[in-house]
Amino acid sequence: MYRTGHLGIAMLVYAPLGTLLLTSGRAELALLGGAGMYWLASFPDCDHRLPLVSHRGATHTVGFALLVGGALGLVGWTLGSRIDPLAAPSLALFGVAIGGLSVLAHLLGDVLTPMGITPFWPVWNRTFSLSLTRADNTAANYAFLVLGVAATAGSLLLVAGRLPV
């Protein structure tokens, strides 16, 4: 997948959590989480710019999702501790969720391509691929973007009470 497709998949994956946050009265977290998913949608592809790191290698694993989730959890804990010590655990959990979910959404996009991913490396070196579309398929990338925008819009309309359940 290219960035366009990864953004769409990130929105698709985040829509249920965003809806839950909005309906729980946590609009600020819903917005922050959406921004985090958007910002991190292509983060695993940082391997293109890292020497000695192969593309779809270490940054395309469940371990990397845990690492990014842990890093954002630490940020959430640190910020929460400064704002309100009682908020630190929930902000840490939120950081873990957004960090991990964003990488997992990226992996979902790449598992759709023939190249696939080895998500459990280095424990299990098996490549997973659904071979549904090539990464450079413009139509597929934009289709995922449209689906992600539709899911986000549907979530907002549902919360606003304009979409029947």
To the question of pTM greater than 0.85 for the whole model, the response is yes
The domain locations on the chain are: 3-159
101 close to 37: Cβ distance less than 8 angstroms: yes
43-47: long-range contacts, CB 8 A cutoff, minimum separation 24: 43/68, 43/102, 43/103, 43/106, 44/103, 44/106, 44/107, 44/110, 45/3, 45/6, 45/106
Residue in 53, 162, 47, 155 with CA at minimum distance from that of residue 106: 47
**How high does pLDDT run on average in the chain?**
93
Instruction: Tell me what pLDDT residue 159 has.
Output: 85
62 close to 127: Cβ distance less than 8 angstroms: no
Residue 142 confidence (pLDDT) above 90: yes
Tokens at residue 116, please?
């696939």
Q: What percent of the chain has pLDDT over 70?
A: 98
Cα distance from N-terminal residue to C-terminal residue, the chain: 32
Q: If you average pLDDT over residues 118-132, what whole number do you get? A: 94
143 close to 2: Cβ distance less than 8 angstroms: no
Instruction: Tell me what pLDDT residue 162 has.
Output: 66
Instruction: Tell me what pLDDT residue 68 has.
Output: 98
Residue 99 confidence (pLDDT) above 80: yes
